[in-house]
Copies of this chain bind each other. A is one copy, B any other.
Amino acid sequence: MSQSTLDYVLAQRIQGLDSSAIRKAFELAGSLKDPINLSIGQPHFPCPPNIIEAGAKALRDGKTAYTLTAGIPELKEALAQKYKQENHIPYANPERILITSGISSAFLLLFNSLLNEGDECLVVTPHFLMYPAYIKIYGGKMHTISEDFQPDDLNSFKDKKLKIIIFSTPSNPTGTVLNKSQLTALADLAEKTGAYLISDEIYEKFDYDKSFLSVGSFYERAITLSGFSKTYSMTGLRLASILAPAPIIKTLTTLQQYTLVCAPSVTQWMGIEALKTEMQPYIDDYREKRDFVYENLKDHYELKKSGGAFYFFLKIKGKDDDFIVRAVKEKSLILVPGYIFTDSKEYIRISFASEWENLKRGVQALKELAAS
- Which residues on A are within 8 Å of B, measured CB to CB? 1-2, 5-14, 17-19, 22, 42, 46-47, 52, 55-56, 59-60, 62-67, 69, 101-102, 104-105, 107-108, 112-116, 130, 133-134, 137-138, 163, 194, 233-238, 245, 247-248, 250-251, 254-255, 257-262, 264-267
Contacts and interface: CB of A to CB of B under 8 A. Distances in A.
B64 A46 contact: yes
Given A1-B251, A64-B233, A130-B258, A10 B114 contact: yes
A163 B267 CA distance: 37
A295 to B, nearest CB: 29
Say how many copies of this protein the assembly contains. 2
A102 B251 contact: no
Contact of A258 (B1, B17, B67): B17
Contacts of A8: 245, 247-248, 251
A63 B56 CA distance: 13
Contacts of A46: 62, 64
A237 B238 CA distance: 11
A112 B250 contact: no
Given A7-B194, A14-B113, A52-B60, A264 B238 contact: yes
A133 B42 CA distance: 35
Contacts of A105: 259-260
8 contacts: A6-B245, A14-B251, A14-B254, A19-B69, A19-B258, A56-B60, A67-B236, A134-B258
Nearest to A107: B259
A59 B54 CA distance: 10
